[in-house]
Structure 1
Amino acid sequence: MTQPPGKEVPKSDSMTFTAAWKDLVRGAGQHELWLKLGIQDIKQRYRRSVLGPFWITIATGVMAAALGLLYSMLFQIPVGEFLPHVTVGLILWNFIAGAIKEGANIFIDNEGLIKQLPSALSVHVYRLVWRQTLFLGHNLIIWVVLMLIFPRSLGLELLLFIPGLFLLLVNGVWVAMFFGIVATRFRDVAPLLEALVQLLFYVTPIVWTTKTLTQQGGDAASRAKIAEINPLYHYLEIVRAPMIGEPVAAYHWWIVLACTFAGLGLAIVAMRQWRFRVSYWV
């Protein structure tokens, strides 16, 4: 039927910001589902393995020890100062990289559930973030051991780790949702993100520090300022610094909060526009 002149065509109920937000809320309400699915993912991945997910902990610990010892000698930084920096950085990086790379394939990998299970689309995103959080929890054992070997004066500032981690989890949700939708439509996005994550590892202060560059002065100090353009540096800093007994400048929090709100807005826009099409694209 032709729409009468002067009257707007109503939008589809599925193509509204309200519907996109309701999907996130509904998915959070279905926590029993994604909590069980996340644990099942880990059991399935390490089926018949004696150590299970602790293999990731061992691999991360060995990698941190190797990189920490090597670069502490190259940069002439005491091991007790540099190794915690590298170790906590790697632990957090595993979460960030997992949210980005696995997030790009989250809907493609769950094609069967999306087409057969009447649940919110965000359930699969929460499932991914929950699974990565479990891996993060296993890897925190390395941090505990490290603090016993290289004691730090961890005061009340350690509690800043909690809101920092919360912001990291929230960002994991929007990253997985946004890139998951885009990569489902454009399949070249996933391998592109994997290459980009590898590049970002080297330009993010994980196996090097901005403090070292600043102390060198000259061009090195300028490069330290340029490194702060990388938003991942600020995400690492608000969680890592409290965990290794270092102060956190306020501007790190403001940058992370700004990126978080911008990212959530971007994800909701993507959900509003393409959420209902994901089941046809997978």
Structure 2
Amino acid sequence: MPVDSPAASQSAPLVSDSRTFKRAIRDLVDGAVVHRELWLELGWQDIKQRYRRSVIGPFWITIATGVTAGALALLWSVLLNADVATLLPQLTVGFILWSFIQNSIIDGSEVFIANEGLIKQLPAPLSVHVYRLVWRQLLFLAHNAIILVIVLAIFPPKHWSWTQLSIIPAIVMLAITAVWVAMFFGILATRFRDISPLLTALTQLLFYVTPVVWTLDTVPGGNSERAQLVKLNPLYHYLELVRGPLIGKPFDPQHWYVVLGCTVIGVALTLLLMKQFRSRVAYWV
């Protein structure tokens, strides 16, 4: 019976598992669990560095959000003859959520380019930089939530029910979406640098076609068939998934169906992209 010689075994090519779904999933898991303290600390340092020597720090964003939402609520209440008590909570939640979504997309497309030095010098999973970005955006979201608490205290929802608790899994879904969006566009934009400015222009366009400063309830003819085309926009469902419970709207499972479907598809595409190109990001940056 022939036996392989040591020389033959040493000369046999080694099969690399760098382009496997196992390595892609391990990157996400290790980044979230093993290197948790790293991205938590880096994300916190990002905020401290950004508002260094500032008296009120990130609360400038909170003030800007509150002033903008209040001014637009007064304007739209005059133009549409609508109730400020209804418009202000909707606008406030819309602005806060849109800021999180927009920054996750735009900053996510540059997440690896911005961390070129760390990627080349720090032996850590790529997902660490994505988690750092999402954690930073969640901290900004928490700061902006202060103005929302004030608005809801002044203009509380008319109807409260147990469905308001769905805000907790909704925020979780928003964070999961931010992770795969940042990872997906981050890899693509690292290889094709035109994607980042393209996404910036696209998000500006989406702001106007997405019910951020307006809703189907406040626009005349909001129940028409033409207005229902807005529901084809996935971002509409992401907004309503969080905004609906906060302003006391009835629970609509359609938003969950769309968001879950987008999440499954997005995670699958992201894993496929990571499988093929995760190991090449360090060379592209």
TM-score tier after normalising by the smaller chain length: over 0.9
Query: Where do residues 182-197 of structure 1 align in structure 2 (5 Å cutoff)?
Result: 182-197=188-203
Q: Which residue of 2 aligns with 1:15?
A: 19
**Corresponding residue to 1:83 among 83, 88, 99:** 88
Query: Where do residues 239-254 of structure 1 align in structure 2 (5 Å cutoff)?
Result: 239-254=242-257
% identical aligned pairs: 60
TM-score, normalising length from structure 2?
0.92
How big is each residue's C-alpha offset from its partner over 1:142-200, in whole Å with a ceiling of 9 and x where there is no partner?
Answer: 11100111122433222110011100000000000000000000000000000000110
Q: Which residue of 2 aligns with 1:95?
A: 100
Residue identity opposite 1:140 in structure 2: A
Query: Where do residues 1-282 of structure 1 align in structure 2 (5 Å cutoff)?
Result: 12-29=16-33, 30-152=35-157, 153-213=159-219, 216=221, 221-282=224-285
Which segments of 5 or more consecutive residues in structure 2 lack a partner in the other structure?
1-12
How big is each residue's C-alpha offset from its partner over 1:34-60, in whole Å with a ceiling of 9 and x where there is no partner?
Answer: 000000000000000000010111111
Residue identity opposite 1:154 in structure 2: W
Q: Which residue of 2 aligns with 1:3?
A: none
Using the TM superposition, name which of 57-66 and 122-131 deviates more. Answer: 57-66
Q: Which residue of 2 aligns with 1:4?
A: none
Q: Report the CA distance between 1:71 and its aligned residue.
A: 1.5
CA distance in 1, matches of 2:42, 2:160: 36
Q: Answer whether contact 2:77 2:87 (CA < 8 A) is retained.
A: yes
How big is each residue's C-alpha offset from its partner over 1:239-279, in whole Å with a ceiling of 9 and x where there is no partner?
Answer: 11111111131111001000001001111111011100000
Bigger radius of gyration: 2
CA distance in 1, matches of 2:32, 2:207: 31
CA distance in 2, matches of 1:260, 1:47: 36
Residue identity opposite 2:47 in structure 1: I
CA distance in 2, matches of 1:131, 1:44: 12
Q: Report the CA distance between 1:11 and its aligned residue.
A: 5.9
SS of equivalent residue, structure 1 residue 228: helix
Q: Report the CA distance between 1:133 and its aligned residue.
A: 0.1
TM-score, normalising length from structure 1?
0.93
CA distance in 1, matches of 2:148, 2:160: 13
CA distance in 2, matches of 1:47, 1:278: 31
Q: Which residue of 1 aligns with 2:6?
A: none
Q: Which residue of 1 aligns with 2:10?
A: none
Q: Answer whether contact 1:174 1:264 (CA < 8 A) is retained.
A: yes
Aligned-residue CA RMSD (Å): 1.4
Using the TM superposition, name which of 86-95 and 242-251 deviates more. Answer: 242-251
Total equivalences in the alignment: 271
Q: Answer whether contact 2:221 2:227 (CA < 8 A) is retained.
A: no
Residue identity opposite 2:72 in structure 1: L
Residue identity opposite 1:206 in structure 2: V
Q: Answer whether contact 1:237 1:248 (CA < 8 A) is retained.
A: no
Which segments of 5 or more consecutive residues in structure 1 lack a partner in the other structure?
1-8
Q: Answer whether contact 1:238 1:253 (CA < 8 A) is retained.
A: yes
SS of equivalent residue, structure 1 residue 211: coil
